[in-house]
Chains A and B, each alone.
Chain A
């Protein structure tokens, strides 16, 4: 079966971002960018499904600026077969991204679509669910285990208080949680080979999708700073402070 994986180019998770002085957003000039960590897990799961003989083809798709090609090449180096870039310089909302992905799904007809559960920049946690709504497919969000058997997929999901398993009819949408797998690293020979794999570029217009939004970001501020704390010398002093100064115990 064909597996479609969506990946996003985001600021590297180790970078501590700074808010721009004019409060229009965060400063992303000259900041290291990477594949969103949850998307890496999505790619890894697809590659493992292929290694198990469940998946026959892995198509990886990214929606974003031309530079998102780097993340697509990374996914190709990890084992994806071909890539699609939906090129858009705008900052798109999750709904717009879901609509663009729906257009790609309509064209590619995958049996399984794997996304990360959230992107670490917008922290929205919406796109997979929205894509499931638009396609009418079942959704297995926050997956820690994915097992395909016949025409259905069993997804174990991380929920508040434990784990839940649901069975979804294929085609279906899965979003990955941290514990689904440990992503591999791309080897140098595979990085070289990935340069020759096909990468197709399309525009939202060509897909016939409007990316208009009902949300507008008015401003972006730095969070309120915590006032500096103190170092205590002993456990006794700590307990005294908590009881008499902070009055929390």
Chain B
């Protein structure tokens, strides 16, 4: 069995979610190859070669793959991946965008967002916003799978010494082109990788009040997240959203401030190790999943918390 892992990267560095995906591949067992598709991404391939457990790195360096447009990258992965037993990618916006296109090209069903490996052909994944866990078995010759990063502890980024092999194949479908991107700037840790996450909801009342959460987060070395209500109300940008339709996080500590705890929000954070809820509504559903609940006005509790930690 040989497993192909699609590296998540920005042409400069390997994203941490790649390490979680390699960890899932290691659980399946077999040789692990990593594909780096991009432009000017030799440094990424070198970093991928050092990941523990990786035996080969394939580098497809071509202008057509610069922004990893699925129309161009999917045929590359389908062509290379046909000889593998499994193709794995992290369930990031990029992985979710590309992999189903690969699966359809290979004429196999995909298994999305696995959280555990039961055997080489059987996997567990959450459905219905995490309210049920399905065990799915695949008879496909090539198993195409996206991996929920928070379900697997990352492998070491150092220690491996895989060979890097260049792939010449160039696919340019010509149906799509990159126009531009706008990335939110932040000095805080990345939401999905942070050990502590502080999140605000509608109870924050406005965007300006998020400064209380930023102050607390900076003291804890935490990332700041938000509920859909806070994003829809325009308090914060949408890449901060935690939930079924936003990001899935599983930090050591999740502090929910002014968040009621709707099903769609819980789907994004209920695998956190310790959950703290600060809410003035004693009946808020968030208290049903919180390890520690504090019924209090957040505008008094959060500044006090910041002082004490």
Residues of A within 8 A of B (CB): 11, 13-14, 16-17, 19, 26, 93-95, 98, 117-118, 120-134, 136-139, 141-142, 144, 154, 157-169, 172, 177-179, 213-223, 226, 229-232, 234-236, 238-239, 241-242, 246, 248-249
Could you say which residues of chain A place their CB within 8 Å of the CB of B94?
A: 159-160
What is the minimal beta-carbon distance from A168 to any residue of chain B, in angstroms?
5
Interchain CB contact (< 8 A) of A235 among B231, B273, B308 = B308
Q: Do A129 and B100 form a contact, CB below 8 Å, given A214-B108, A221-B135? A: yes
Give the distance in Å from the alpha carbon of A112 to the alpha carbon of B180 in the complex. 22
B63-111: which residues lie under 8 A (CB-CB) from chain A?
A: 67, 69-71, 74, 92-94, 96-105, 107-111
13 interchain pairs, CB-CB under 8 A = A19-B132, A120-B128, A121-B128, A127-B100, A129-B70, A129-B96, A130-B100, A160-B93, A166-B177, A223-B270, A231-B292, A235-B305, A246-B253
Please count the residue pairs between chain A and chain B whose beta carbons lie under 8 angstroms apart in the complex.
253
Give the distance in Å from the alpha carbon of A3 to the alpha carbon of B180 in the complex. 26
Closest B residue to A14 by beta carbon equals: B263
What is the minimal beta-carbon distance from B55 to any residue of chain A, in angstroms?
27
Closest A residue to B282 by beta carbon equals: A231
Contact call B184/A238, Cβ cutoff below 8 A: no
Could you say which residues of chain B place their CB within 8 Å of the CB of A163?
A: 181-182
Contact call A219/B135, Cβ cutoff below 8 A: yes
Q: Do A138 and B176 form a contact, CB below 8 Å, given A13-B263, A160-B93, A216-B139? A: yes
Interface size on B, residues (CB 8 A): 88
Q: Do A166 and B183 form a contact, CB below 8 Å, given A95-B104, A230-B292, A235-B301? A: no
**Residue with the highest number of chain B CB atoms closer than 10 Å, among A157, A163, A238:** A238
**In the A-B complex, the 3 residue pairs with the closest CB atoms:** A129-B100, A133-B104, A130-B104
Q: Do A242 and B131 form a contact, CB below 8 Å, given A158-B238, A162-B182, A165-B179? A: no
Could you say which residues of chain A place their CB within 8 Å of the CB of B305?
A: 235, 238-239
B165 touches A (CB below 8 Å): no
Contact call A229/B100, Cβ cutoff below 8 A: no
What is the minimal beta-carbon distance from A226 to any residue of chain B, in angstroms?
5
Contact call A178/B136, Cβ cutoff below 8 A: no
Closest B residue to A221 by beta carbon equals: B133
Query: Among the listed stretches B27-35, B42-50, B199-207, B244-252, which one makes contact with chain A, having 4 or more residues with CB under 8 Å of it?
Result: B244-252
What is the minimal beta-carbon distance from A108 to any residue of chain B, in angstroms?
19
